[in-house]
Amino acid sequence: MEEETNGFELTIIIPVYNEEGNLERVKEEITSFFQKFPKKAKVLFVNDGSADNSLSIIQRICTGTDRFQYLSFDQNYGLSAAIKAGFDAADTPWVGYIDADLQTTPDDFITLFEYTGDYDLITGVRTGRKDSFVKNMSSKIANGIRRMFTHDGMDDTGCPMKLIRTDMAKKIPMFNGLHRFLPAMILLQKGKIKQVPVKHFPRIAGKSKFNLWNRLLGPLQDCFAYLWMKKKYINYKIGERG
């Protein structure tokens, strides 16, 4: 594994959709994080068909370094597709996920990584959220609905800060909206999950891609899709090879 990954232990997936105003700051904060993180880590930008200058900025950031890499979709496919593409491309033991708006800080991956010896997924729980009242309330309602369907015990699956064992992440059969169900999907694989408080900051640049519809009604529809998939889910372990 060491030769295969060139010593990298963690790939941080950063989905990007029209985030040109945030990407230089992302580079600065991630570069600072690399110096503090006890393991060797890299970033994988997934450009989700941005219509602004995001791709050209990403290309510039990634030039001449193996610490920053990217994939670029031919059109906009959505957040779940971007995360799935990152999982499929990852070649490190652990994969992380953070939003390009930096409302969470990559430095909190240091705290989450402390639990990787005992857990297969560690997810952040945003404390002191710097969002509007409507956004906070709709998020709480959506999380409550999801918990009723999944019984995953998670308080904030929408938090854009997660660490997952890569081999388990690659087994997740993604569909639109399933990024909200990552802890539940690890539980289906008999994995162990934990939530850890992380810091939260206001959005400085760009616009949120979510509204009342896709924060409430969309997740409710996704819950029924999850229940259907749960009944059909195949889980197995190899006992012996010959």
Residue 2, pLDDT above cutoff 80: no
Residue ranges per domain, the chain? 2-232
Q: CA torsion, points 126, 132, 133, 136, in degrees to nearest 10? A: -30
The pLDDT assigned to 177 comes to 75
Distance from C-alpha of 77 to C-alpha of 93, rounded to nearest angstrom: 26
Residue 172 vs residue 110, higher pLDDT: 110
**Residue 46 is inside which H or E element, if any?**
strand 41-47
CA neighbor of 161 nearest in space, from 8, 3, 15, 6: 15
pLDDT in tens, 117-157: 999 999 998 786 555 555 655 666 566 666 666 667 676 77
Question: 2-232 — its CATH code?
Answer: 3.90.550.10
Quickly state the pLDDT bin for 213 (edges 50, 70, 90): low
Q: Between the ranges 5-9, 84-88, 133-137, where is the mean pLDDT highest? A: 84-88
pTM, two decimals, is 0.79
The pLDDT assigned to 214 comes to 55
CA neighbor of 86 nearest in space, from 74, 104, 73: 73
Helix (H, G, I), strand (E, B) or coil at 51: coil
